[in-house]
Structure 1
Amino acid sequence: MDVSTEIRSVLTPDEQTAALALIEAAARADGVGPISEHGMLWIRYGGPARALLVYADGELAGYAHVEPDGTEFVVHPGRRGQGLGRRLLDGALELGAKKIWAHGDHPAAAALARAAGLDRVRALWQMRRPLAEPFPEPRLPEGVRLRAFVPGADEEEWLGVNSRAFATHPEQGKWTRSDIDQREAEAWFDPAGFLIADRGGRMAGFHWTKVEDGVGEVYVVGVDPSEQGTGLGRALTLAGLAHLRDRGLELVTLYVDEENRPAVKLYESLGFEHFGTDVMYA
């Protein structure tokens, strides 16, 4: 087998096409996407990351999105068991990767991490619930009303609330204008499902919902620290669920850190159940 590795800061159109095809093949085989939304957006838009492309006999057989705090990689289902996963992992570590995501918590990924001397340091739960099952109506705090996000007007204020709400979160709190602009350009973006809690003209919180492939998602729920303890987070969550239900969707999912027990308890109280796990190794 003739194997070669390429390092890219930007992918060519042909490399983008090949990487997306490989990722789709792995997702079909494994039942879970191997690269996060962030990594998928990077393929198209670029940014501060690098890509490793491993070719076997002239065809793309492995792909890695490399960032120090969030590296991901995937091997084509037809090329597994040939040492390409370890090649990708070693190459990513040489490029400065410190934290590696494995989507789906597969035993093979855990074994590869152990062989490289990496430990499990974080777990992200996927939870879901049927929208046909009843849930309470939202009760907004006094003085708060809901409205839809206004593209072109709300971005900067939203970034401020998001930054304060997720000040200690390793990813969400670092969002920039570029991050929100990229998502506004996606086919799934719908401002009607981007709910803003308004208190006297000031943004107090938000629930950004997402619909893709017929499944709803609690994409991001954030509350300004000045509103914590008012019940706004629960009310926003319920309002988003009602929005997704009224769109005729049958299922809603969300992601939450396993160690964020208050959030896990909130979602469990609203009928969500643990469905899958993404694991970070370092």
Structure 2
Amino acid sequence: MDLGTGLTGPAGPDAVLRLVGLVSDVDGVAPVNEQTVLAVRHGAGDYRHHWLADDGQVLGYAAVAGDGSGELCVHPEWRRRGLGRRLLATVLGEAPDLALWAHGDLPGAQALARSAELRRTRELWKMALELELEAGTGPAVRGAGAGPAGVGLRTFVVGQDEEAWVALNAAAFADHPEQGRMTVTDVQHRQAEAWFDPALLWLAHEAGRPEHLLASMWVKPEGDEAEIYALGVAPDAQGRGLGGWLTGVALDEMVRRGYARATLYVEGDNTPAIRTYRRAGFARVALDVQYSR
């Protein structure tokens, strides 16, 4: 069995993405996150790619990102043969302080983490809200109403707003290990995805100054669900009610478009945010975990 590095040989981008798709279908959860998929597809980002192949077929894949996180997956028909441990030893040898994602925190991932004496160091919750599509069913979505005083609202303009949005996002998520690192190139890669709709990316700004951004709400549609993909408020605009207002704007538009469920991701230790989402009717439906030494 061959061990390789980089998106080369049998482990070209298409082969890796086919493996990721197969594992997703079998496990019911994607083994790698969106940023890794885009890094594979576009050959971009600060990533190291590792793979195991036999007779030209990719059986295992692992990625180490520049932020010190990692992910791996093994072909469902080749599990319990030591491939996961071999890939994990490879990436830990390269990055001893690696924080390994276990999307869905499945039993196999838990066992692999225990075998390497890794412990839980971070949780990411997926929460969901069943939307009211007809009167009298599901939790009500309150109308967003008028915005806070002195605030205007517009949608994203492709080719114009990328740099301003990246600057706003970096300020809003300065302490977030992934979100605050997004670049203009990252935004452009997402614009190229089939799900992207600029009408679902709202920009709150100072009234009369559309270039002075205060907050943004980005929604990602997928099937009958719509994810609150990124909600960011500039530090100097905190306390003006922008987050709650933009959430109402997004939920109202989800209902108008006929989506059945709203989803979002939140850090497991962000107790105030979780409390707020639960009051709004959201409940935890999935869990991603990071394991590290």
Aligned counterpart, 1:109: 109
Aligned counterpart, 1:29: 26
1:38 aligns with 2:35: yes
1:205 aligns with 2:212: no
1:6 aligns with 2:4: yes
Aligned counterpart, 1:223: 233
Aligned counterpart, 2:151: 144
Identity %: 42
Q: Tell which deviates more after alignment, 13-22 or 166-175.
A: 13-22
The Cα RMSD (Å) is 1.5
**Matches of 1:80 and 1:280, distance apart in 2:** 21
SS of equivalent to 2:118:
coil
**Matches of 1:56 and 1:126, distance apart in 2:** 35
Q: Structure 1 residue 214: deviation in Å?
A: 3.1
> In structure 2, what residue type is equivalent to 1:195?
W
Residues 198 and 78 of structure 1: CA distance in aligned 2, closer, same or farther (over 3 Å): same
Q: Structure 1 residue 99: deviation in Å?
A: 1.0
Is the CA contact (8 Å cut-off) linking 1:129 and 1:253 kept in structure 2? yes
> In structure 1, what residue type is equivalent to 2:122?
R
Query: Which ranges of structure 1 fall in alignment gaps of 5 or more residues?
Result: none
Of 242, 246, 262, the match for 1:232:
242
TM-score normalised per structure 1: 0.95
Aligned counterpart, 1:76: 75
Aligned counterpart, 2:135: none
Aligned counterpart, 2:168: 161
**Matches of 2:9 and 2:206, distance apart in 1:** 46
Aligned counterpart, 1:271: 281
> In structure 2, what residue type is equivalent to 1:191?
P
Aligned counterpart, 1:252: 262
**Matches of 1:67 and 1:222, distance apart in 2:** 23
Query: Which ranges of structure 2 fall in alignment gaps of 5 or more residues?
Result: 133-138
Moved over 3 A (4+): 10-14
Q: Structure 1 residue 183: deviation in Å?
A: 0.7
SS of equivalent to 2:3:
strand
TM-score normalised per structure 2: 0.91
Q: Structure 1 residue 62: deviation in Å?
A: 0.5
SS of equivalent to 1:256:
strand
**Matches of 2:203 and 2:8, distance apart in 1:** 36
Note the alpha carbon deviations across 1:77-115, whole angstroms, 9 max, x for none: 111111111011111112226111010011221121121
**Matches of 2:243 and 2:249, distance apart in 1:** 10
Of 184, 197, 201, the match for 1:190:
197
SS of equivalent to 2:215:
strand
SS of equivalent to 2:265:
strand
Q: Structure 1 residue 13: deviation in Å?
A: 9.0
**Matches of 1:50 and 1:114, distance apart in 2:** 24
